[in-house]
Chain A
Amino acid sequence: MLSEQRRAELHNLLLQDCGSCHGMTLKGGLGPALTPDVLKDKPREFIEFTIMEGRSGTPMPPWKDILTRDEILWLVDTLYTGVRP
């Protein structure tokens, strides 16, 4: 279980740091949109794997050295339900 403080940090990370490539509202930038309507047709494992490992040959970096698995799962959950600014 993540602490409330850690969840607030991750929320900020999602909007600001993922947002620097995916757009601050996650509607897309250099990287594609990460909104629930775009993600709903994609398998969760695939999205989780992309965040863990990154995607080589593209700017998408791996996050597994910076975030724990639980934290990444929390990010995936949050992306599928929609991030409020």
Chain B
Amino acid sequence: MKMISNALYAVVLLVILAGCNSLRGTGDMGVVIERATGSVQIIETTQQTKLSQVDGLGDLSHASIVFSRDERFAYVFGRDGGLTKIDLLTAKIDKRIIQSGNSIGGAISQDGRLVAVSNYTPGGVKVFDADTLKLVADIPATYGKQKQQSKVVGLVDAPGQKFVFSLYDAGEIWIADFSQADEPEITRFRDIGKQPYDGLITPDGRFYIAGLFGEDGLALLDLWHLEKGVKGILRDYGRGSKKMPVYKMPHLEGWAMTEDYAFLPAVGRNEVLIVDRRNWKQVATLPVHGQPVFVMARPDGRQVWVNFAYPRNDTVQVIDTEQLQIVKTLKPGKAVLHMEFTPRGEHVWISARDAGKVTVYDTGSFKVITTLPMKKPSGIFFTSRAHRIGL
């Protein structure tokens, strides 16, 4: 009898140990959007492999993702207004709701308790409990005498349990402060410029910047000094007198900040704009292969990587931030849509939609580490975003 129970214990112990082996952290995981099939691939960046696929996420064109602060859950914001919470460890949909007709992006609050979604129609922001996805607050972006609702763009989180966003049709920036109650206090800044099309917050959480489509320049808000209001910067710059058509709106989320400079995509020009971070004055422009879409700094700030709009979108260029010149031109394949650095920047993952693959490059040698076949891959998001302001 004793013998048998000992053997049983051994078996039970083995099972437990085997279970332990499959425990894992999520800090090296990420999610790649497959935009045509409404699915995502869960990946890991240590061995550079696909772990599992999650289906049933709806229209994922222009989809984006934020992560829970424990880096276990991914919140996927779909174009069709879907908000899906995915458990990265079980590779299952934890919860899914359709929260509006047409959404564009999202953010997670400083304390991780609230998830906000910005919508085109009806225009506004909706805020949900991150745990249950129950509606906490509805903020219609109403403006003007007719009480129209504006499309909302450039939604980010800011320190102090705030969300900041821009109203495309109204030309306004709003701050929704949730620090006191689930009924937010709204601060409105009017006449910030024509057609803000996207926004970003600096990595320290201090400055919110909206790119303007309808006029030259950008709108800058110092969140430490709201009393100073919104200031126009780089007014002599933007699309300029010789306006070129824009075949894809640039994204500001990835605006690159190094210690001294900010690198910005020029709207409608084959240029990257280099700006002095202390006074927001332009110091140089760098001619590049096409109209920049994402301009992203490697985490150490030594390199800036740029991809381009249709029809020049098979190329990626690398700028050395010390020499301020292009040091490498790569061809990852047709329709490069997104780039994501590993947390410390040794690798970058690049999606090429029409080539149907994600390529992992070594950022030092520019050698291809591996390629992973995927169906129309677009956005790539790593869990390390969970701990960065504005992502």
Contact = CB atoms under 8 A, between A and B. Distances in A.
Interface of A: 12, 15-17, 19-21, 23-25, 27-30, 54, 57, 59, 61-62, 66, 85
Interface in B107-123: 120-121
Contacts of B60: 24
B354 interface: yes
A66 B309 CA distance: 13
A28 B35 contact: no
Interface stretch (B202-210, B240-248, B379-387): B240-248
A61 B353 contact: no
B245 A20 contact: no
A39 B59 CA distance: 21
A23 B79 contact: yes
B168 A30 contact: yes
Contact of A66 (B151, B197, B311): B311
Contact of B353 (A16, A59, A85): A16
Interface of B: 35-36, 59-62, 79-80, 102, 104, 120-121, 151, 168, 195, 197, 213-214, 245-249, 310-311, 335, 353-354, 376
Contacts of A54: 245
A10 to B, nearest CB: 13
Contacts of B35: 24
27 contacts: A16-B353, A16-B354, A17-B247, A17-B248, A17-B310, A23-B61, A23-B62, A23-B102, A24-B35, A24-B36, A24-B60, A24-B79, A25-B61, A25-B80, A27-B80, A28-B120, A29-B61, A29-B79, A29-B102, A29-B120, A30-B249, A57-B214, A59-B197, A59-B213, A59-B246, A59-B249, A85-B36
A85 B247 CA distance: 21
A54 B248 CA distance: 13
A24 B249 CA distance: 15
Contact of B104 (A27, A29, A59, A85): A29
A24 B353 CA distance: 13
A80 B94 CA distance: 39
* Dominant SS among interface residues on chain A: loop
A19 B104 CA distance: 13
Contacts of B62: 20, 23-24, 29
Contacts of A25: 59, 61, 79-80
Nearest to A12: B354
A77 B376 CA distance: 26
Given A29-B104, A57-B214, A24 B59 contact: yes
A30 B197 contact: yes
A17 B293 CA distance: 13
A61 B214 contact: no
Contacts of A59: 195, 197, 213, 246, 249
A27 B60 CA distance: 13
A2 B354 CA distance: 21
Contact of B151 (A12, A15, A30, A57): A30
Given A21-B249, A27-B80, A59-B197, 18 more contacts: A12-B354, A16-B335, A17-B247, A19-B61, A20-B62, A20-B248, A23-B62, A24-B61, A24-B62, A25-B79, A28-B102, A29-B79, A29-B104, A30-B249, A57-B214, A59-B246, A62-B245, A66-B247
Most chain A C-beta atoms within 10 Å of own C-beta, residue among B79, B151, B197, B376: B79
Contacts of B246: 59, 61
Contact of B59 (A20, A23, A57, A66): A23
